[in-house]
Structure 1
Amino acid sequence: MSLKSRELLADVSLLGISVIWGVTFLMVQDAIKEVPVFAFLFWRFLLATVLFFLIGIALKPSFDLPSIRAGAILGVMFCLAFSLQTFGLEHSLSSVVGFITGLNVVFVPLFLWMLFSQKQTPFALLGIALAVVGLWMVSTNGGGIGLGKGELLTLGCAALFALHIVYTGIFSKRHRLFPLILAQFSTATLLCLLFSLLFDPFTIPSTLSYPFLKALFITALFATVLAFLVQTYMQRFTTPAKTAVIFTMEPVSAGIFGYFYAGEPLGSIQILGAGIIVLAMLSVELGSLLYRRKKRLN
């Protein structure tokens, strides 16, 4: 397979998992009405770890300390990002959380500049400015000047997901795939168990409700094992910035699913703000791509 074909396959695969993530927002929101946040995340990541380990046994993988260490670093980001996002779902609509999570595409070029001195184009700066406007419109419906608790938590989640995208792009090229992902899942599982024991009223649910079980199995199998296997492998063939742009389909699918399936109310200003956020995301990468091409031609 040619390099260009691999890049196209990577882009299509990443697009698919971004849609899966967007669809699961509403399921998680229903599940955490039944089970505390850290308890839900613990069971989700534990099931994902077990499933991934069982899948990997047939491959007879080898382990090395650098891959495990890198996976543990990703696992900390992974756990904290999902924790903030899930707490955000307790205090805001799934569609709003989805769109704010999508701001990770704006944080990615910022982190690439801050951490690796990669200069950003005027389109990236324009995207950041547009994202701030869109965020205000989505989170406040055009009124007030502050962000609610759910929106602030999700904003922190977006920053952590951006760091995760940046370092997944780096680590996936340097380390073995299986120990990298397994260490990531295991670290997230242990951290969520610790947080649940410290902060949740209970970790083991007394009853297994349908919303909890549905969200648990779908998020563990599809939105965790499949999604992060695809992301970690396919990011070898594309860039962190392009990955972040492809992941803009996550908030779009979350908004569409929340509006049509759950009837979540979205005002005209919020819809406009969501559109501005998507425009900001596209500006960061697509506009920057055109800018670099023009500079090369000149």
Structure 2
Amino acid sequence: MDKTSKYPLYADLGLIAVSFVWGSGFVASKNALNSMTPMMLMALRFSIAALLSGIIFRKNLRNLSKETIKAGCIIGFFLFSAFAAQMIGLQYMLAGKQAFLTGTNVIMVPFIYWAVKKNKPDKYNFMAAFIMITGLALLTIDFSVGFSFNIGDALTLLCAFLYACHIVVVGMFSKQHDPIALTVIQLAFAAIISLIYVFWSGEFTIVIPVPGLLNGIYLGVFCTFLAFLVQNLAQKHTSSTHAAIFLSLESVFGSTLSILLLGDQFTFTMLLGCIIIFLGIITAETKWSFLKIKQNNPEKITEH
């Protein structure tokens, strides 16, 4: 086995590590929001990540083409928009619940590809979408008071859609441009937009309690700088839809850590909804192939 044949394996392991770090980010974000506004938290985490990446990878920023800058800004737009919806929505819901709702982006990726690349999703994607809708209903609707779909649920589903778009554009552009340069540009774009907003709105502050500051630094260094660097590098060696299944484990890690560290209380109905959502994720990405007899020559991963 040559070195390049191991790249897909390294990519998968890297994406699993990213999903764990992002899962822990729900806990860190919930704690940090006790000390600052959602947009101030975004300004802090993205500024830290952008400065770190810009300093460490400054050589990759030499002689940037207009196409690379444009691609990085497009990725950065979806990154900023997704996180803005997520951070604002987190104020109105449990961190563990949001982790699973955010994970629904894996179902959206093939349908976005359908719109962009004209590649129609297969029957498993449609089955997964139906399963996902059922799980979402159990997870978000409070049946004791009738239909109840709050702003946190709506913003988190918007976040999932925007993050699905982010996965798609990363997959498209990381194969055409330097993934490290794309990482720096997208983080800088998100940082600049966040800073402009907090200065304009008057939310900017340097007086942040130590616990909030530590959580913000963790989010900036690990959940943003390192995580997005690994994602961009990994997606250069795997497909977007394949990456989505590993990144969807973020919801499992996020919910588990929220229960253990934040004491989130899940009702039986919410737990059932989470299980059904995860079933939908597995249906979309594995197509239950692991239940079939393995072939001697596994099929090469392709976009679908």
TM-score range, shorter chain: over 0.9
SS at match of 2:174: helix
Change (3 A) 1:35 1:106: same
Name whichever structure is richer in helix by fraction: 1
- Find out whether 1:159 has 2:199 as its counterpart: no
1:183 pairs, out of 182, 185, 190, with 185
Change (3 A) 1:59 1:239: closer
* Corresponding residue of 1:219: 219
* Corresponding residue of 1:77: 78
How big is the shift at 1:178? 3.0
* Corresponding residue of 1:7: 8
Give 2:13's aligned amino acid. Answer: V
Give 2:68's aligned amino acid. Answer: S
What does 1:75-154 correspond to in 2, within 5 Å? 75-143=76-144, 144-154=146-156
Q: Does the 8 A contact of 1:100 with 1:154 survive in 2? A: yes
Structure 1 vs Structure 2 CA RMSD: 2.2
* Corresponding residue of 1:252: 252
Q: Does the 8 A contact of 1:36 with 1:203 survive in 2? A: no
Please say which of residues 60-69 and 25-34 is displaced more in the overlay. 60-69
- Mapped to 2, the partners of 1:219 and 1:257 lie a distance apart of 15
Change (3 A) 1:95 1:20: same
* Corresponding residue of 2:302: none
SS at match of 1:236: coil
- Mapped to 1, the partners of 2:267 and 2:12 lie a distance apart of 32
- Mapped to 2, the partners of 1:106 and 1:16 lie a distance apart of 21
- Mapped to 2, the partners of 1:31 and 1:112 lie a distance apart of 35
How big is the shift at 1:141? 4.7
Please say which of residues 184-193 and 58-67 is displaced more in the overlay. 58-67
How big is the shift at 1:233? 0.9
Q: Deviations over 1:159-215 (max 9, x none)?
A: 00000001100100001223211111111011112222334x42114x331222122
Give 1:166's aligned amino acid. Answer: V
How big is the shift at 1:145? 2.5
How big is the shift at 1:289? 6.0
Q: Does the 8 A contact of 2:61 with 2:181 survive in 1? A: no
SS at match of 1:238: coil
What does 1:190-205 correspond to in 2, within 5 Å? 190-199=192-201, 201-205=202-206
* Corresponding residue of 1:34: 35
Give 2:211's aligned amino acid. Answer: P
Change (3 A) 1:264 1:170: same
Change (3 A) 1:109 1:59: closer
SS at match of 1:16: helix
Q: Deviations over 1:211-233 (max 9, x none)?
A: 22122111111111111111111
Aligned length: 294
- Mapped to 2, the partners of 1:60 and 1:189 lie a distance apart of 17
Give 1:86's aligned amino acid. Answer: M
Give 1:117's aligned amino acid. Answer: K
Q: Does the 8 A contact of 1:141 with 1:267 survive in 2? A: no
SS at match of 1:20: helix
Q: Does the 8 A contact of 2:179 with 2:236 survive in 1? A: no
SS at match of 1:174: coil
Q: Deviations over 1:82-101 (max 9, x none)?
A: 01000111000000110000
Q: Deviations over 1:87-122 (max 9, x none)?
A: 111000000110000000011011011111111111
Percent of residue pairs bearing the same amino acid type: 27
Please say which of residues 92-101 and 141-150 is displaced more in the overlay. 141-150
* Corresponding residue of 1:286: 286
Q: Does the 8 A contact of 1:64 with 1:179 survive in 2? A: no
